[in-house]
Structure formats: C-alpha cells, structure tokens
Structure 1
Amino acid sequence: MSYTSNSSKERQVSSDAFLVSKTDTKGKITYCNMPFADIVGAKSSELIGKPHNIVRHPDMPRIIFKFLWEYIKNKQEIFAYVKNKSFDGSYYWVFANVTASIDEKGNIIGYYSVRRKPNPKALEIIIPLYQRLLDAEKSGGIDASAKLLAQILQEKNTSYDELMNNLQRL
C-alpha cells in the first residue's frame, strides 16, 4: 500500500461511473465499491478500515475539507470538487456529493460519498481557485484561505453551494 511517484499522471473517471464510499463517524472507510477501489488502484480489503484521507492529494486546500466537515456534521449535504491520489501516485478529479448517514433516531452513524466525473470546464475554474486558496494557506494558514474564499464568493455574489453546482452545469 505504498505510493510510488507518478504524481503527474492523471486518471480519468469514466463518465458513467459512480465512485462510492462510506465511512464511520471518524472518517474510516467501512465500504467502497469497485469503481472507487479501481481508480485508487487498490483492493477493497486494502481500503476498508483505513482513514479516507489516505487518498487526499496535497494539492487540495484544507479549507474545502473544513467546509465539508462542517456541512456533514450538521447533517447537510455538500458538493465539492476534489483532487485525490491513487496508490500509484497518480491523481484524479471528482465532483463529490457527501452526506451524513442517519439512524432511525436521527443520529449520525457515518458518512456516504458518491463521486462523478467532474465537468472539465468547471476544472478550468476550480484548479486556479484551489491554487489561490493553497497559496493563501501556505502564507497565512487556513484562516487566510477561508477569508479569501469568502471574498471570492462575495465578489461573485454567490454561495459556496451555488458556485459548486453552477460549475458542474457549465
């Protein structure tokens, strides 16, 4: 399960694929489907029980995950563009929908994520946006990237949710 250096190779999510995973409340993988395991380059058994951030790519701004966790811990669904890494060091982009899994009493028992192929036109906007957020994080931490993202959303007169969904429809 070691990563090899292949960071410049991009894997493409098939346009008809749904990459599905479930985690417990701490983010450990409890289920993943074959398309998810395949793009990661692992067997399901190599993923079950591991923290989901095992596929986190260093190019992802932390502020996006902060948003994600705030949403799902409050039982709100979230859509996000996410760059992940595969076990061979390559990477892939997804448009993710993440929700809390709720039991019959309304308690969060885990999280459920379904990912699709992102709109390539959206990535033309997301990639430089994420780079700006990363640069802000490197110089001023997550607070700096949160401030920058809020400023960008205000300039565009939109919310995070509207931006993510509108970009997928480009």
Structure 2
Amino acid sequence: MPPPNPAHSTEVSLQPGELIITKTDPKGLITYANRVFMRISGYAEHQLLGQPHNIIRHPDMPRGVYRMMWKTLQAGEEFFGVVKNYTIDGNYYWVLANITPDYDRKGQLQGYYSVRRRPSREAVEAASRLYAEMRAIEARTSKPAAPDASAAWLTEEVARTGQDYTSYILSLNAGALGRGERA
C-alpha cells in the first residue's frame, strides 16, 4: 500500500536479534506471518493471509533484484538480499532477507520460507546506492528487458568486488551476523 506522501515516510527498524518469519505457497501468497512481521508491517493476520507477499514491496526496490531472487529460488537455491519494504501506514523498513524453497517429502515445492533480520547500516547504504542505479537502468530500458538489464548490471558491479551477490550481501552484514544474528 503506497503511502499518502512518500517524502514524509519514516524508517522503522527491527531490533537486534528480532526475526520476521513468513511462509508462502509456490505462487508467493502468504500462508504464515509471525507477530514480528505483523508489528513491523502494521498488517493484521487477516490482512496478510492469502495476499501476495509483494503487498509490502517498496517502489525503491528495483525489479531486477526480484528477477535475481526468482531465478535463484527456481534453481532450488536459497536467496539472500537486502530489501526495502513498506508498512501499512506508508513508512518503510530494511531487512536482510533469506528465502528458501520449501519441499515436501516427495521433493515437490510447497512454497517458500523467509527469515528476515535487521541488516547492517553498511548494507543498507550499499543497497541504496546500487538500487538507485538499477532503478535508473530500468527507467531507461524497455519494460520487458528492464529487470534483466538491471540484474545484469548488479551482477557485474558486485563482481568487481571479487564476489557474487550472495557473498557480497553476507560480507556487508558480517558484523551484524557475528553478534548472534545468524543467516
């Protein structure tokens, strides 16, 4: 839900050690949300269950990040990323997201399990810079090609550090994770 005036939105922060946990079905519809998620996002359980997880998607998030996320998850791998989300009242919060495919005993995809924690300030600042450039790329690229173009730019930019996106994100959060907040 977009805020009435994004220029006046306020950042909401998770406390150290606090975890947001959600589960979705294979299409991304929320099937479970913990109390921390409800408190931070401002949504009640009945407002979340059955809704697409992107109900909290902030427009500052480039589509290319989600393209990378879905490619990673569809390959059966877990995804780590720094994500900016909306609250119901138009404020925002940053998370270090870890999303994992959830399979049944027969190996059939049941959905996705996501654990999100407070990212380091360094990770938020780096993501803000990278995501601004990704949004600029998406704005000047044809709509169907925009997510792939910005994701390719991000991959190349992060490769300059000698890391892939996951390693880069985790390295930016090493301090926060080292204080008992494990990924």
TM-score, scaled relative to structure 1: 0.94
Equivalent residues in 2 for 1:109-128, closer than 5 Å? 109-128=110-129
Contact kept? 2:68, 2:151, Cα under 8 Å:
no
SS of residue in 2 equivalent to 1:158: coil
Aligned to 2:168: 163
Deviates further, 97-106 or 151-160: 151-160
**CA deviations over 1:98-154 (Å, ceiling 9, x no partner):** 001110011111100000001112112111111111111111122321231132023
Gaps of 5+ in 2: 176-183
**CA deviations over 1:50-100 (Å, ceiling 9, x no partner):** 000000000001111111111112221111000000110000000000001
Aligned to 1:150: 155
Q: State the identity %.
A: 39
Deviates further, 79-88 or 64-73: 64-73
Gaps of 5+ in 1: none
SS of residue in 1 equivalent to 2:55: helix
Matched residues in 2 for 1:97 and 1:150: separation?
Answer: 18
Deviates further, 85-94 or 155-164: 155-164
Q: CA RMSD in A?
A: 1.3
Matched residues in 2 for 1:59 and 1:81: separation?
Answer: 12
- Size of the aligned set, in residue pairs, is 169
SS of residue in 2 equivalent to 1:111: strand
Equivalent residues in 2 for 1:28-47, closer than 5 Å? 28-47=29-48
Q: List structure 1 segments (4+ residues) > 3 angstroms apart after TM superposition.
A: none
TM-score, scaled relative to structure 2: 0.88
Matched residues in 2 for 1:3 and 1:167: separation?
Answer: 29
- Give the CA deviation at 1:45: 1.2
Matched residues in 1 for 2:148 and 2:71: separation?
Answer: 15
Contact kept? 1:79, 1:164, Cα under 8 Å:
yes
